[in-house]
Amino acid sequence: MDPRTLVGRRLHGVVAAWHVFEGVKDHQPIDVWLFLDVGGPVEIGVASDWRLTLDASQPYEPYDMQECGVVEVRPLSGHFPLAKHRGEEIQDVGEDIHPLAGRMRMDLRFASGAVRFESYGGELRVQAVPGGTATKYSNHADSL
């Protein structure tokens, strides 16, 4: 999915999947779903080849991994970087695409700031962007 299709859509809600082991939740989610005013949910995650993915899909069900813990799927809390942008329109997107690996980072800019999604070591990282400005949209990253 081309992230530029998100521009102009309003964020109504966010759901995330979290790994929980022995009662401790990971600091970063496994996957995130944006619920927008147009179209169905949009999933942001990391593929097995470590590239950042952006797909139209419904959240999956929580599941138990026995001795490895559980995966919880639920709406985000108020402390997550996207939470403060509920109700806002996505004004711009930016992404870094590595010539061989594909999309590695994507920024969403809202009126009140920006949020970065990035694949780091095969795991999803989500954080507020300092200064609140999204990187420019690019087809190839100069360096990652």
For 1-41, the pLDDT digits (tens) are 999 999 999 999 999 999 999 999 998 999 999 999 998 99
Q: Answer yes or no: is 9 within a domain.
A: yes
DSSP at 41 = -
What are the tokens at 86? 């509920």
Q: Is residue 78 part of a domain?
A: yes
Question: Which tokens in the block code for residue 20?
Answer: 């929980």
Q: Which 3 state secondary structure label does DSSP give 13?
A: strand
In a domain, 140, yes or no: no
Contact 124, 46 (CB under 8 A): yes
- Asked whether residue 44 is assigned to any structural domain, the reply reads yes
Q: Do residues 92 and 135 make contact, with C-beta atoms less than 8 angstroms apart? A: no
Domain presence at residue 32: yes
Per-residue pLDDT at 90: 97
Residue 86 located in a structural domain: yes
With contact defined as beta carbons under 8 Å apart, do 110 and 93 qualify? no
pLDDT of residue 135: 56
pLDDT above 90: percentage of residues in the chain: 74
Q: Report the number of distinct structural domains present in the chain.
A: 1
Buried b / exposed e over 1-40, threshold 16 CB at 10 Å, is eebeebeebebeebbbbbbeeeeeeeebbbbbbbbbeeee
Question: Would the pLDDT of 136 be above 70?
Answer: no
Contact between 30 and 17 (Cβ < 8 Å): yes
* pLDDT of res. 134: 53
Give domain status of residue 141, yes or no.
no
Domain range for 74 is 3-132
Whether 88 maps to a domain, the answer reads: yes
